[in-house]
Structure 1
C-alpha cells in the first residue's frame, strides 16, 4: 500500500492527487480491475493463446 506523507502547507487535493499517482504507478487499480470477477483457469489459458496468436 503506498504511503504518502503530507508536505508542509500542502492542501488536501494535491495530497490525494499524489496518492492516486502512486497507486497507479504500483498498478493497484489495474490489479483490482483484473480480480473483480473470477476467471476460470481454462478461460485464462484461452485468452493467453489468443494473445500470442496476434
Structure 2
C-alpha cells in the first residue's frame, strides 16, 4: 500500500504549550520560543503574499548560497 506524502499543510499543525499553575506569562514566553525554533514566524511572513515561482526559485538559490558560505566559514574555522 502506498504511503501518503505529507504536504506543507500537514506540517504546520497546531502548536500547543501547557499553562502550568496559571502562569500565562511563562506559557507565552515558551510559545514564542517554540515558534521561533520551528521557524513559524519566518514561514508566516513568507506566506503573507503570493510569491511568483520565479521569485521563489531565486530566493531559494540565495538561501542555499548563504548556507553554503556559512558551512565554508565553519569548516575553515574548525581547521585551525
TM-score by length of 1: 0.68
Please tell me the root mean square deviation across aligned C-alpha atoms, in Å: 2.0
Partner of 2:15: 2
Point out 4+ residue stretches in structure 1 off by more than 4 angstroms. Answer: none
Secondary structure (helix, strand or coil) at the match of 2:50 reads coil
User: Distance between the aligned counterparts of 2:60 and 2:37, measured in 1?
Assistant: 24
- Structure 2 residue runs of 5 or longer lacking an equivalent are 1-13, 66-80
Does residue 20 (structure 1) correspond to residue 29 (structure 2)? The answer is no
Shift in Å, 1:48: 4.3
Q: 1:41 to 1:26 in 2, by over 3 A?
A: same
**TM-score where L is the length of structure 2:** 0.51
Structure with the larger RCO, 1 or 2 (CA within 8 Å, 6+ apart): 1
Matches for 1:15-54 after TM superposition, within 5 Å: 15-49=27-61, 51=62, 52=65
